[in-house]
Amino acid sequence: MTAVSKLPSNHTLEQFQKYLTARNMSDNTIYVYRYAVSQFYHLYPQLTSRNLQLYKVYLLEHYRPQTVNLRIRALNCFMEYRKSAITPVPMIKIQQKMYLDKIISQADYEYLKIRLAKNEEYTYYFIVRLIAATGVRVSELLTFQVEDILKGYKDIYSKGNKMRRIFVPSCLRSELLAWLDSLCRRRGPLFLNRFGSPLSPAGIRAQMKAFALQYHMDPDVMYPHSFRHRFAKNFIEKCGDIALLSNLLGHESIETTRIYLRRTSTEQSRIVNKVVDW
C-alpha cells in the first residue's frame, strides 16, 4: 500500500473493469469509470493526493456538478480497487432544487404517443410506452428480450447483486404481443433498428431529439429518462406508496425517490395563482 500509484497498464484497466463487473455495475457505469481513470492519467502522471485535488479543480472548471461527482466516484472506486492509502476525494455538495423540472407533461406524453402511432413509428411508440409504464432506465430497457414480454416481466440485477422485477402492465403487454406477432418475432432483443441490430442508448436519445423537432415539442423534455420521471410522477400521484415506487425504480435509498413528492415549478406557479387571492 502506497500513497503514490504510477500510470496503470491496459492489463490493470482490464482488471479494474472485471472488478466493476463483479460488483454488478452497468455497462454504462463501467465505461464512465474507465474513462475517468484514463482521463486522470492523461492529465497527471501519478495518482497522488495533490494530483487528485488538481483533477477535481479541473473537473469543476469543465463539467457540471453531477459529472464532477461521477468522475470523483470513479477515481475513489479505482483507489479502493488498488487498495491505495490515499484518502478518498470528497464529493461536492449539490444544492437540491425545491421543484422538479424538465419532465415531459402528461399532455405532451399523450400527444407524442398519438403522433408516433399515426406515423407508424411503432418501435419508438413502444419504447416510450415501456419506459413510461415501468420506469426502467434506457440501459435496462435495451436488455429486454421478446421472451420477457411473453412472460410479462423481467428480472433485472443491479449493484450488490440486488434483483428487482419489472412488471409489464397487461394492457401494454397485449399491444406489444400483437405488434411482435405482426412482425413474426418470438425471440431475441425487443428493440431493433432498421438494420435488424439492437438499438443503442445514444441512438435512442438522438432519435428522441429528432422527434421533438418533427413534432414541435420541447427538446429539453424529450430524452429517455424524462419518461422514467413521468412514470414516477404518475405512480406517486395515483398510488402514493413511495416505498414501492423506490423498489420499482431500483433506487438504493428511499431518499432518492422523495424528489417525486415535489412539484414542478409550473405546477407550483399554478397552485400559487389559484390559492393566493389576498
> Fold for domain 106-274?
hpI Integrase; Chain A (1.10.443)
Q: Return d(Cα 86, Cα 107) in angstroms, integer.
A: 51
Domain boundaries, the chain: 5-82, 106-274
Picking from 7, 82, 45, 15, the residue whose alpha carbon sits closest to that of residue 55 is 45
The grid cell for 262 is: 415535489
Q: Smallest Cα–Cα separation from 180: which of 215, 150, 213?
A: 150
C-alpha cell at 208: 428522441
Return the CATH fold of 5-82. Answer: DNA polymerase; domain 1 (1.10.150)
> What 3 state SS string does 151-199 have?
HCEEEEEEHHHEEEEEECCHHHHHHHHHHHHHCCCCCCECCECCCCCEC
Per-residue pLDDT of the chain (278 residues; tens, 9 = 90+): 444 555 566 778 889 999 998 888 888 889 999 999 999 999 998 889 999 999 999 999 888 888 899 999 999 999 999 998 999 999 988 765 545 668 888 999 999 999 999 999 999 999 999 999 998 989 899 999 999 999 999 998 765 567 888 899 999 999 999 999 999 999 999 999 888 899 999 899 999 999 999 999 999 999 999 999 898 888 888 887 788 888 788 777 777 777 776 666 666 667 667 766 66
pTM given for the model: 0.63
